[in-house]
A and B are shown apart, each in its own frame.
Chain A
Amino acid sequence: MKINRVISSIIEFIRGLSVTFWHLFVPSVTLQYPRQRWTVSDRYRGLERLAVDEEGRERCVGCCLCAQMCPSNAIKIVTGEGKDYNKEVISFEIDIARCLFCGLCVEACPKNALSMTGEYELACYNRAGMIYTKEGLYKSPDVTRYKK
C-alpha cells in the first residue's frame, strides 16, 4: 500500500512540472506596470468626467438625477440661482472612494453631461484626494464611452 502511494505522488509531481514547463512557451499576460501601461477597452468604466457642449458651456444643469441614481451615494451636488436667473451648479463632487463604477449615473444623465473615462489610476495618499470636485471632473481625460 505504502509503495503505491509513493509512486502516485511522484507521478503527480511530474505532471505538475510538465504544466510549468509548458508555460515557458506560452506568451506572458502580466504587464510590467508602471513601465508598461494597459490600453483599456472602449467600454471600460473608470473615473467619471463632466463634459462641455460645443460652445464650451457646462452641459450639466444640476438636475441631480445622477445623485439620486447612485447606489452608493457618492455624488453630492449643490445648486443655486446664477446669472440671468438661471440654474447654476455651485459644486459637484464625486467621492471615488465610495464609487463602485457601476455607471448608473451616466445612464441617468438626461443632458449627456456625465460619462466614464478609461482613467483607472486613482490611488492617492489621503481620503480627501478621493473626492473629485467640479474642476477635476471637467479636466479629467478624454472619454472612452460617450453616448450621443
Chain B
Amino acid sequence: MITLTIDNKKVVVEDGATILAACEMAGSKVPTLCHEKKLLSFGACRICLVEVEGTRTKFTPSCTTPATDGMVVKTMTEALIKARRTILELLLISHPLDCPVCDKAGECSLQDLVYEYGVSGNRFKGIKFTLPVDHISPLIERDLNRCILCGKCVRICDELQGVSEISFVNRGMRTKIGTDFDRPLDCEFCGQCISVCPVGALTSKLFKYKARLWELENIPTICPYCSNGCTLILGIKDNQIKTITSHDDIGINEGNLCAKGRFGYEFVANPLRLKKPLVKRDGKFEEVDWDEALGLVVTKFNEIKTDSGANSIGALGSARLTNEEIYLFQHLIRQGLGTNNIDHGGGYSYQGLIGLKESLDYPASTNSIHEIRETKAILLLRADLNETHPNIKIEVNLAINRHQARLIVADNKRIKLSANVASNLIYKPGTELTLINGLINLLIKNDLINKDFIKEKTTGFDKLLSCVKKYTPEYVEGICEVNPQDLELAARVYAEAEKACIIVTCGMGLCGNNRDIALAASNLALLTGNIGKESSGVYILPEKNNSQGALDMGAVPGFLPGYMPVDKPGYSAFQMLEAGKLKGMFIVGENPVMTYPLPDVQKALESLEFLVVQDMFMTPTAELADVILPVGSFAEKEGTYANLGKRVQKLKKALLCHGETKSDLEIFIDLCQRMGCEITTDNNPLTSFIKEESNPLTSFIKGEFAGEDKPWKNNNWKGKFIPVESDEIKTDRDELLLVSTGSHLYSGSLSAWSPHLLEVKGEACVEVNYKDAKKIGLDAGDPVKISSKNASIKLKARLSDNIPEGVAVVETHPLLNVMVLFGQKMMPIKGKIGKE
C-alpha cells in the first residue's frame, strides 16, 4: 500500500497503481486522451501532466508514472493549465475542426477539452492534413485527418482483439494510422476501435449523419445474438435505433462488443418485417386481426386434439425467446395442449449442457466468464471463438497477454487463435473423443492426475481407466492424425498448470456429438482436479442468447422447467419432423427449413394439417404456414435472458411495437387464456411471475448462481467419469471429409436481415486447402458442387492454408441450407467436390 498526497488530500492506493489512478481516487479530475482503463498505459498524448514536488522535471505524465510513497502531487496549477492549453493548440494545428458535421461531436474528448481549457485561437500555424477518407471499408469509416494519434485503436485491436489489423505507419508529421499498403479494412469488424477512439477519426457507417449524439436516448439492454450476454446501449431517436454503443461500467462485457452486437441491429427496422397476422386461404396469405388469427389457432389445435389426440401436435421453441416466454410456451404446450412434444435447436444444440449435468450435476459452464482471464492454461476444444463467441476470445487474449496463460488449441483446422499457442492439435474432423481419450491416457501414464481429488470427489474412475487403455499416442495418431509430441506437450501444459480451463462450443451446425464432447471435457477436468476451483473448470458455450434459459425453462421433450423429470418424454425435434408423425405444429422463432440438417423438412411441414409459425420475418418455414403470428424484436419487449454463466439479465423495452405486432409473451398469455390453462402470476403477468417466491424455478433464475449454489460446494458431491468413444470415419483417396463450422460471425437468423452485416459476409463458401484445390482444378472463387450421400449443393470455393488436406469446411450461410449435406447425426461426412 502506498500513501500519497494529491491536491492536499491523502489517499492510499495499491502497489503499482499509477498517479492517475490515485488522482481518480482523490476525486481530482485529470484530463486524458490516450489513456484507457482496459488497455496498458501508453503515454502518447501528454495531456495528463501533473506536478510532483521534488522531481527534476517540471511536469510528470500521470498515466504512465507509478505512484510512490509520500509523493505530493498537484493536478491543477496555472503552469499546468498553460501547458495543457499548449498541447491542445499543437493538436489543433492540423486538425480539420469540422465538428458541425463530425459524428463524434458531443462526446469527443478533444472537443470537450478545447472547450474546458478555453482554447479559442492558435498561436501556431501549419498545414492541415488532407488524407483521403476511407469510404470503401465496410461498416467503418476512417477519416484520419481527425486522428490525434493516441494509439488506442491500435492497442485495442492488438491487446484485446488479437487481430492487429491497424498500426502506425510513416514517421514524424506524416505518421498516421493505417493498414498494410493502405488497403481497406479486412478484419473482424468488431468496431472496438470506434468505441475507444476519442475523436471522430473512426466512426460507424451505420450511424453516419443519422443523428447527433446528444439527441439520442440511451437505453441499455441485452444483446440478442450470442450467449455471452453483452449489454448493448441502444441510441434511440424518433422510435428508431440510430446506433449501438457500450459503456465500460455497464454489463459483463466491460464495454467490449463484437460486430454482431454493435452493427447487427438493422433487422429491427427492416421494412420486410411482418406487421399483421396472416392467415393462408386458398394458398394465399391474407391479413387478419389478432382476434381472428388466435381464435383460428385455438380452434384448429383443439380440433386436432380431439380427432387424433394431443400427441399428434408438436412444438418447436427457440433459444432466442426470453425466459418468461419459454416458460409460458412450454406451459401452453404441456398444460394447454397436453403434450410433451416440445423441443428447440434441432434437439441437440443443448446436448452439451445435458452432458455436463450428467457428469457434474450442473447443466451450465462451471465458472463465470471473467475467471478465464486469470487462468494459467486454456484448452480450446473445437472452439473457434473469433467466429462464435468473440467476447470470450477477449478473455482468452487477456489470459495469454496479461497472465502468461498457455493455450492449447484442438480444432479440425487452424483458427485465428492458433497464432500464439503452446500446442496446436489439428485433428481429423469428428475424432475429438479419440483425441481427448488419448490425452487422458497420457495423463494417467505420466502420472499427471490429481489422485486425491479423484479418490474423494469422483466415481467411475475404473471404468474410464479401462476405456482409455487402448488410446496410446500411436493409436491416436493413426486416427486423429495428431503428432504424439504435440499431444504430449498439450497433456503437460494442461495438467501442470495450477488452474486450467477447457472451452467447448456447441450449437446447431457444429458436429453433432455435443453431449459426448462435454463428457470428455469434464472427464479431463475431473482427472486433473480442475472442477470447483477459481479460474478453471469446463465452459460449454452454447450458441444463442438464451440457450441456457431455454433449457432451464424446459423447452425440451425430456425435462420440465428446472430439470424436473417428466412422466412420458415427448418427441424430439427430429422425430417431430418425420413426415406423417404429426398433424399440427407450432413453430416459434425457428426456421427448420433453412437450419435443420434434414432434407425432407419442407415435405414434412407441407404434409401437416395445420402449421402455425411465429416469427418476425417471412422465412421459408413461415411460407408453409397456415397462420403466421408476427412478433416484436428484442428491442420492443421486456423479459430476461440467461447467459452462458447463468447470469440472468433484464431486457428493456426501447421501441414501440412495430406495426401491429405483439411480443411473444403477450401472444402466449392470450393463447393460454383462450385454451383455458391457468397462469400462476401476480397481477402483472408480463414481468412478475418469474419473481414469485413459491415458484420452483426461482433457485436458478435469481441471477448468476451464487457460489454456494454450485453442487460441488456440497461435501457429498461427486463428479462422475462417463467414458465416451466414437466410431472412426474412413475416407477414400478421391473423397474429402466435409465438416460444418457452426455459426459464423454473420450467418445467423438475425444477421440475414441486417444488410450491412451481409455485405461483410458475402457469398456462401466452402473452404479447401490449396493442394486439394489443385488436385480438383479449382481456383479461388470458382462455383463448385458439393455432394454427400444426403444431398448436393452449390457454393463458391475459397482456398486456404488453414484447412488440412483432405478436409472441406462448409460455412453456414443465412440464405442457404448447407446442413442437409450432413444428415441427422451432423457428423463430418465423406463427400465430393466438383467444379460446376
Question: Could you list which residues of chain A lie within 8 angstroms of chain B, going by C-beta atoms?
Answer: 61-65, 67-68, 79-81, 85-88, 110-111
- What chain B residues lie within 8 Å of A64 (beta carbons)? 212, 215
Report yes or no: B100 in contact with A111, Cβ–Cβ below 8 A: yes
User: Once the chains are docked, how many angstroms separate the CA of A86 from the CA of B102?
Assistant: 11
Closest to B103 in A: A87
Report yes or no: A87 in contact with B101, Cβ–Cβ below 8 A: yes
Mask, B100-125, CB within 8 Å of A = 1, is: 11000100000000000000000000
Known contacts: A64-B215, A85-B133, A85-B135. The answer to whether A80 contacts B209 by CB under 8 A is yes
State how many angstroms separate the Cβ of A134 from the closest Cβ of chain B: 16
Question: Could you list which residues of chain B lie within 8 angstroms of chain A, going by C-beta atoms?
Answer: 99-101, 105, 133, 135, 208-212, 214-215
Report yes or no: A81 in contact with B208, Cβ–Cβ below 8 A: yes
Could you name 7 residue pairs across A and B whose Cβ atoms are closer than 8 Å?
A61-B100, A79-B209, A79-B211, A80-B209, A81-B208, A85-B133, A88-B209
Report yes or no: A62 in contact with B135, Cβ–Cβ below 8 A: no
Closest to B238 in A: A78
* Most chain B beta-carbon neighbours within 10 Å: one of A68, A85, A86, A111: A85
- What chain A residues lie within 8 Å of B210 (beta carbons)? 79-80
Report yes or no: B208 in contact with A110, Cβ–Cβ below 8 A: no
Closest to A113 in B: B100
User: Once the chains are docked, how many angstroms separate the CA of A87 from the CA of B214?
Assistant: 18
User: Once the chains are docked, how many angstroms separate the CA of A88 from the CA of B210?
Assistant: 10
- 12 further interface pairs, Cβ-Cβ under 8 Å (given A68-B212, A80-B209, A110-B100): A61-B100, A61-B101, A62-B101, A62-B209, A63-B101, A64-B212, A79-B210, A79-B211, A81-B209, A85-B133, A86-B101, A110-B99
User: Once the chains are docked, how many angstroms separate the CA of A86 from the CA of B100?
Assistant: 12
Known contacts: A85-B133, A85-B135. The answer to whether A65 contacts B100 by CB under 8 A is yes
Closest to B205 in A: A81
User: Once the chains are docked, how many angstroms separate the CA of A64 from the CA of B215?
Assistant: 9
Known contacts: A62-B209, A85-B135, A88-B209. The answer to whether A68 contacts B214 by CB under 8 A is yes
State how many angstroms separate the Cβ of B266 from the closest Cβ of chain A: 15
- What chain B residues lie within 8 Å of A67 (beta carbons)? 215
User: Once the chains are docked, how many angstroms separate the CA of A79 from the CA of B210?
Assistant: 6
- What chain B residues lie within 8 Å of A87 (beta carbons)? 101, 209
- What chain A residues lie within 8 Å of B133 (beta carbons)? 85
User: Once the chains are docked, how many angstroms separate the CA of A65 from the CA of B213?
Assistant: 11
User: Once the chains are docked, how many angstroms separate the CA of A83 from the CA of B133?
Assistant: 15
User: Once the chains are docked, how many angstroms separate the CA of A62 from the CA of B105?
Assistant: 13
* Most chain B beta-carbon neighbours within 10 Å: one of A63, A86, A110: A63
Closest to A60 in B: B100
Closest to B214 in A: A68
Closest CB pairs A-B (n = 7): A63-B100, A87-B101, A87-B209, A64-B212, A79-B209, A61-B100, A81-B209
Closest to A109 in B: B100
User: Once the chains are docked, how many angstroms separate the CA of A62 from the CA of B100?
Assistant: 7
* Most chain B beta-carbon neighbours within 10 Å: one of A67, A86, A87: A87
State how many angstroms separate the Cβ of B112 from the closest Cβ of chain A: 16
State how many angstroms separate the Cβ of A62 from the closest Cβ of chain B: 7
User: Once the chains are docked, how many angstroms separate the CA of A53 from the CA of B215?
Assistant: 28
* Most chain A beta-carbon neighbours within 10 Å: one of B100, B133, B208: B100
User: Once the chains are docked, how many angstroms separate the CA of A87 from the CA of B215?
Assistant: 17
- What chain B residues lie within 8 Å of A61 (beta carbons)? 100-101
Closest to B208 in A: A81
Closest to A111 in B: B100
State how many angstroms separate the Cβ of B212 from the closest Cβ of chain A: 5
- What chain A residues lie within 8 Å of B212 (beta carbons)? 63-64, 68
State how many angstroms separate the Cβ of B688 from the closest Cβ of chain A: 36
State how many angstroms separate the Cβ of A85 from the closest Cβ of chain B: 5
